[in-house]
Amino acid sequence: MKIKILGTAAAEGFPAMFCECDTCRKARRLGGRNIRTRSGAVIDEKLLIDFGPDTLHHTIYNGLDLTKVTDLLITHSHRDHLYPLDFENRKDGYCVMKNKKPLNIYGTVASINEIKGIYKGNTGVEKELKLNVIEPFKTYKIGEYTVIPLKANHSPKTDPVIYIIQKSGKTFLYSTDTGCYFPETVDFLKNWAGYVDAIAIDCTAILLKNWREHHMGLDTDIEQIEQLKSVGIMDENTKVFLHHFSHNGGAVYDDLVPIAAKYGFFVAYDGMEINL
């Protein structure tokens, strides 16, 4: 399983577009991995996670080839994770794709309704998309992958989920946007006969303390990882990648790397590749 992290920022980007705080100034000055676009990932060039407003950027600068993507998982309906207006660009006349087939999109009710609300009656777009409603704690076979959505602790109206993704004996847990896991999610994982090889975990708050609802920071990530180890789905060999960062958290990539390393964590950056 080859995972490419396409973007690693929270909704406002990093540096934030209208911001002149010290952290944004530092990110602009340093450049490189300190510059972050809105979050997303792709697996084996086929399975895309989220379709945010920076997807075009990812096709130009991060090697995302949307002509190879067959399936799309949506975590929730917030605009930095789902920007459905750009599905218009898949229509004939906007693009040329050989052997084009509908894009299979999987999401909870709120995400699917968001897409339907924009394109209802627009037959040109409707024929490009195959919309599939999924539910937390159910197992789905999507292409080569076994996918299990889990209930996320985030804005309830967005019907948010995180994803277990499995292929060829390897498991990746994509865990953003979420605060500390709900009891029902922990209970599911406790009874799930699986092992996570790598996790990308929400670290929106970075160095801010005690963020438990909607998002997490480094301190609550440490707690969450320990809980997941205690229920038996992770151990010291599981690779932990901090992901989804806000400039409000007070640390750029260069600042966070040595701090995260103390706990054995990696810091995700735009364009990072993870091989499982």
Mind listing the pLDDT tens digit for each residue in 17-74?
Answer: 999 999 999 999 999 999 999 999 999 999 999 999 999 999 999 999 999 999 999 9
Using the predicted structure, report yes or no on whether residue 123 has a pLDDT greater than 90.
Answer: no
Q: What is the pTM of this model?
A: 0.97
Which tens digit of pLDDT belongs to each residue from 146-191? 999 999 999 999 999 999 999 999 999 999 999 999 999 999 999 9
Q: Could you give the angle at which helices 253-261 and 218-230 cross, rounded to 10 degrees?
A: 40
> What distance in Å separates the CA atoms of residue 31 and residue 4, rounded to the nearest whole number?
20
* Reported confidence tier of residue 124, pLDDT bands at 50, 70, 90: confident
Average pLDDT for 210-232:
98
Distance CA 111, CA 165 (A): 19
Task: Give the mean pLDDT of the chain.
Answer: 97
Q: Which one-letter amino acid corresponds to residue 23?
A: T
pLDDT at 121 over 90: no
> Which pLDDT score is estimated for 189?
98
pLDDT digits (tens, 9 = 90+) for 89-117: 999 999 999 989 999 999 999 999 999 99
Strands 2-7 and 103-107: what pairing? unpaired
